[in-house]
Amino acid sequence: MDNFVKWKSFLKESKLRIFDFDDTLVKTDSTVKVTSPAGETKEYTPAEFSKHKIDEKNKYDFSDFNKVINPREIKKVTNILRNVLGAEGERDVIILTARDPESQSAIEDYLEQIGINPGSLNIVLLANPDPAAKANWVENKIVDGATDILFLDDSGKNIKAVNALGKQYPDVKIDARMVDYAEGVE
């Protein structure tokens, strides 16, 4: 690659900073209620549900996630978010969550409570817990020109799905990091 091509690609660099919400930026008391075909209901925390295998025979109730129930800030990650928002240079900052669009105002209210202006970032509500949904969203951003991606999430499945994009897009810097700070939050 000659210097002109390198310089041209540098000019087009597009930074994308992506943060998951539940168990990444905040720990809540929201649970997913899973009812088996036999009528037995079990509740899962976000961390437990991230390891759950979806079974189409079960009935899933995500309604707790339309609210932010008993939020506890995960300061190690919200401080990273604050630093990214305050940093020099152009970048898109995203909260990418499996939550339903009905939770938009609850997330915005929570961000305001911890001193983060929700207007300074984009909140993307996928309404889909499948790791492929996050990976597909990130891939669409790559196709649109993102060249430098930082992805922070508490789910190993989501990290693996986003890291897999590196094989398809070797010229894109993808840094997908697992964060497990929620475990230390009471």
The per-residue pLDDT for 143 is 94
pLDDT tens sequence across 7-59: 444 556 799 999 999 999 999 999 999 999 999 999 998 888 878 888 899 99
| Amino acid (one-letter) located at 155 | S
Banded pLDDT at 1 (limits 50, 70, 90): very low
pLDDT at 105 over 90: yes
Mean per-residue pLDDT for 147-167? 96
Residues 161-168: contacts with CB under 8 Å, at least 24 apart = 161/131, 161/132, 161/134, 161/135, 162/134, 162/135, 162/138, 164/135, 165/135, 165/138, 165/139, 168/139
pLDDT (tens digit per residue) in 174-185: 999 999 887 776
Pairing type for strands 72-73 and 92-97 reads: unpaired
| DSSP assignment string, the chain | --HHHHHHHHHT--EEEEE-SBTTTEE----EEEE-TTS-EEEE-HHHHTTPPP-TTSEEE-GGGGS--S-EE-HHHHHHHHHHHHSSS--EEEEEESS-GGGHHHHHHHHHHTT--GGGSEEEE-----HHHHHHHHHHHHHTT--EEEEEES-HHHHHHHHTHHHH-TTSEEEEEE--GGGG--
pLDDT at residue 170 greater than cutoff 50: yes
- Within 8 A by CB and 6+ apart from 76, the residues are 179, 181
> Average pLDDT of the chain?
91
pLDDT confidence of residue 12: 62
> In the numeric block, which tokens belong to residue 180?
């497990």
Task: Please give the model's pTM, rounded to 2 decimal places.
Answer: 0.88
Q: Which CATH class is domain 3-29+71-184?
A: alpha beta
Q: Residue 12 corresponds to which tokens in the numbers above?
A: 């087009």
**Identity of the amino acid at 40:** E
Confidence of residue 5 (pLDDT cuts 50, 70, 90): very low
**Choice between 166 and 183, residue whose per-residue pLDDT is larger:** 166
